[in-house]
């Protein structure tokens, strides 16, 4: 398409996320031409006092590894401006508005404004409201788009309060709630794999699927983020958002067409049909964990900044039941944790075995037929595999299971646009497909809240898994009760 003209205002302009992910993403769009090379500018904001030149030096640093030549990074950085800004000071918004008008004229950005709030979550609401109330939104026909980083609340009530603040200033279709897992290649491929292939969609239901497993496993521990993470935990940090978003793509019905409004409608329907547990249900269907020591690892409670009696979960697993026709009694198992054996996000769809195994009789040492397993690799490995039953090449008939496999090599995977680049592209084109709408966020919190509530009330028996393992034993028991087991690792 034609390159988009835009003026960005980025709150938290020298933050870690901005320097590591956001500027390189914008730079790649600039390089590839979806962002107009002449008609764009960015105002970085925070309380820091910086000159434009100091800010630009940081930008050059942040994007130089992506640049074809040093001049390209310099040309890009010349569109960047710094403004020291206190988000609670109304005068600062008037000054911002003046600067925005000036730059809009200078770069002919046609009134298109993107406001990106990458700050501590307590400031999300006040920034959005002040932008509106102090007249920083453009009024001359361009677009105003508000991008909100996570976390979006810490339970339903706080998320609702935040959402009310945002929607008093912006319309739902102007709000882009970031969930970077929706920018990942494999997440975006799920709807195409499902709705583009009748041979999959035809069996995508409780009649053929035994269970669905979503695993977001991390190898790293809390690192230096205890200040945030110890008040969040795995359930809020990874399950409520990333995991349930992935679940919604797997569970939803076919949208009428692949446009954001239609997709959202179906995702919401799916999320709202998840059974919400009472306290007893939580005990039976959810498992929490906190890592202990392991080879070369200290226990979570000894990590820098973590209280020695922390009750925080670094692992969460659960079973989701959908009260709808498609899924019937087919469970979705989900899990995510830190300090696990390997870093991999993946989805394993386990199909039921053939009703009758005709090979079990009359052949020499037959292997039992296995149910097909369709696996989606999210990150760092990207791809799809499907296990099928076939025969081996020996004399006589012996069945065996093989993997049909499409896994991207490291060089192809390195070419895949990074999540923030995809998401920025969609923000510029006004496509909300890969952003979380408010009803989705609300349904996810309503599902997670009773779990979190119980865990807050009753301290866990921590630590309960070894660093470098695959999590607590109770998570295996959760599946064993249904005669299932985690497919990965196997």
Q: List residues with catalytic annotation.
A: 242
Considering only CA atoms, which of 305, 130, 290, 315 is closest in space to residue 216? Answer: 315
Q: How far apart are CA 364 and CA 360, in angstroms?
A: 9
Evaluate whether 80 touches 41 at the Cβ level (below 8 Å): yes
Query: Which one, 379 or 466, has the nearer CB to ligand BG6?
Result: 379
Nearest-approach distance from CB 218 to ligand BG6, in angstroms: 6
Query: Which one, 145 or 180, has the nearer CB to ligand BG6?
Result: 180
Nearest-approach distance from CB 320 to ligand BG6, in angstroms: 20
Residue nearest to ligand BG6 (CB): 237
Query: How would you class 182 by CB atoms within 10 Å of its CB: exposed for 0-12, middle for 13-18, buried for 19 or more?
Result: buried
Cβ neighbours of 8 (radius 10 Å): 26
Question: What three-state secondary structure class fits 53?
Answer: helix
Tokens (6 digits) for 62: 């942040």
Evaluate whether 331 touches 321 at the Cβ level (below 8 Å): yes
State the binding string over 166-195 for ligand BG6 (x if CB under 6 A, else -): --------------x---------------
Nearest-approach distance from CB 475 to ligand BG6, in angstroms: 19
Tokens (6 digits) for 32: 């590839």
Q: How far apart are the first and last CA of the chain?
A: 45
Nearest-approach distance from CB 238 to ligand BG6, in angstroms: 6
Query: Which one, 13 or 337, has the nearer CB to ligand BG6?
Result: 337
Nearest-approach distance from CB 287 to ligand BG6, in angstroms: 19
Task: Kindly give, in sequence order, each residue whose CB lies less than 8 Å from that of residue 102, ignoring residues fewer than 6 positions away.
Answer: none
Q: What is the largest CA-CA distance in the chain?
A: 86
State the binding string over 422-461 for ligand BG6 (x if CB under 6 A, else -): ----------------------------------------
Nearest-approach distance from CB 390 to ligand BG6, in angstroms: 34
Query: Which one, 60 or 216, has the nearer CB to ligand BG6?
Result: 216
104 binds ligand BG6 (CB under 6 A): no
Query: Which one, 112 or 310, has the nearer CB to ligand BG6?
Result: 310
Q: What part of residues 290-319 is at the interface with ligand BG6 (CB under 6 A)?
A: none
Query: Which one, 111 or 419, has the nearer CB to ligand BG6?
Result: 419
Tokens (6 digits) for 75: 């040309």
Question: What three-state secondary structure class fits 424?
Answer: helix
Q: How far apart are CA 292 and CA 335, in angstroms?
A: 18
Q: How far apart are CA 129 and CA 213, in angstroms?
A: 40
Nearest-approach distance from CB 416 to ligand BG6, in angstroms: 13
Evaluate whether 399 touches 359 at the Cβ level (below 8 Å): yes
Evaluate whether 40 touches 5 at the Cβ level (below 8 Å): yes
Evaluate whether 90 touches 130 at the Cβ level (below 8 Å): yes
Query: Which one, 267 or 381, has the nearer CB to ligand BG6?
Result: 381
Tokens (6 digits) for 192: 């195409």
Q: What part of residues 246-265 is at the interface with ligand BG6 (CB under 6 A)?
A: none
Among residues 104, 185, 230, 237, the one that binds ligand BG6 under rule CB under 6 A: 237
Nearest-approach distance from CB 300 to ligand BG6, in angstroms: 13
Question: What three-state secondary structure class fits 70?
Answer: helix
Among residues 104, 211, 218, 449, the one that binds ligand BG6 under rule CB under 6 A: 218
Evaluate whether 165 touches 140 at the Cβ level (below 8 Å): no
Tell me the number of residues near ligand BG6 by CB under 6 A.
Answer: 4
Query: Which one, 110 or 426, has the nearer CB to ligand BG6?
Result: 426
Among residues 110, 379, 449, 466, the one that binds ligand BG6 under rule CB under 6 A: 379
Task: Kindly give, in sequence order, each residue whose CB lies less than 8 Å from that of residue 205, ignoring residues fewer than 6 positions away.
Answer: 326, 327, 328, 330
Evaluate whether 145 touches 115 at the Cβ level (below 8 Å): yes
Nearest-approach distance from CB 411 to ligand BG6, in angstroms: 20
Three-state secondary structure string covering 80-147: EEEEECCCCCHHHHHHHHHHHHHHHHHHCCCCCEEEEECCCHHHHHHHHHHHHHCCCCCCCCCCEEEE
Query: Which one, 59 or 234, has the nearer CB to ligand BG6?
Result: 234
Q: How far apart are CA 88 and CA 127, in angstroms?
A: 8
Tokens (6 digits) for 413: 């995977």
Footprint of ligand BG6 on this chain (CB under 6 A)? Answer: 180, 218, 237, 379
């Amino acid at each position: 398409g034609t390159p988009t003209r835009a003026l960005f205002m980025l709150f938290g302009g020298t933050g870690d996320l901005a320097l590591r992910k956001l500027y390189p993403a914008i730079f790649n769009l600039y390089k590839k031409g979806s962002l107009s090379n002449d008609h764009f500018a960015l105002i970085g904001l925070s309380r820091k006092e910086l000159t434009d030149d100091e800010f630009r030096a940081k930008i050059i640093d942040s994007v130089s590894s992506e640049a074809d030549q040093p001049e390209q990074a310099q040309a890009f950085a010349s569109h960047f401006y710094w403004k020291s800004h206190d988000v609670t000071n109304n005068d600062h918004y008037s000054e911002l508005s003046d600067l925005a008008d000036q730059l809009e004229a200078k770069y002919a950005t046609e009134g298109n404004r993107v406001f990106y709030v990458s700050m501590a979550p307590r400031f999300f609401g006040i920034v959005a409201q002040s932008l509106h109330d102090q007249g920083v939104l453009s009024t001359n026909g361009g677009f105003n788009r508000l991008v909100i980083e996570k976390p979006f609340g810490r339970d339903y009530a706080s998320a609702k309060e935040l959402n009310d603040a945002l929607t008093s200033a912006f319309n739902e279709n102007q709000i882009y709630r970031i969930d970077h897992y929706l920018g990942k290649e494999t997440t975006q491929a799920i709807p195409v794999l499902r709705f583009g292939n009748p041979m999959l969609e035809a069996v995508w239901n409780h009649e053929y699927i035994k269970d669905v497993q979503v695993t977001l496993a991390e190898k790293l521990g809390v690192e230096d983020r205890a200040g945030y993470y110890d008040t969040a935990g795995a359930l809020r940090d990874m399950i409520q958002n990333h995991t349930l978003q992935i679940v919604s793509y797997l569970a939803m019905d076919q949208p009428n067409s692949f446009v954001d409004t239609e997709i959202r409608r179906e995702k919401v329907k799916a999320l709202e049909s998840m059974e919400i547990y009472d306290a007893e249900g939580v005990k039976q269907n959810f498992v929490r964990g906190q890592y202990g020591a392991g080879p070369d690892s200290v226990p979570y409670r000894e990590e820098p900044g973590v209280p020695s009696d922390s009750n925080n979960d670094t692992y969460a697993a659960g079973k989701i039941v959908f009260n709808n026709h498609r899924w019937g009694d087919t469970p979705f198992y989900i899990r995510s944790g830190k300090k696990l054996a390997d870093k991999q996000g993946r989805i394993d769809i386990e199909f039921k075995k053939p009703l009758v195994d005709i090979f079990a009789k009359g052949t020499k040492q037959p292997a039992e037929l296995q149910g097909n397993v369709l696996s989606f690799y999210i990150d760092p490995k990207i791809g799809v595999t499907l296990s099928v039953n076939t025969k081996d090449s020996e004399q006589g008939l012996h069945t065996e299971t093989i993997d049909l496999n499409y896994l991207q090599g490291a060089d192809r995977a390195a070419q895949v646009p990074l999540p923030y680049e995809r998401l920025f592209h969609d923000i510029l084109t006004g496509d909300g497909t890969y952003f979380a709408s408010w009803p989705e966020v609300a349904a996810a919190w309503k599902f997670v809240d009773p779990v979190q509530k119980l865990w807050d009330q009753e301290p866990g028996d921590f630590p309960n898994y070894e660093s470098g393992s695959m999590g607590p034993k109770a998570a295996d028991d959760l599946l064993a009760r249904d005669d299932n087991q985690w497919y990965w690792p196997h």
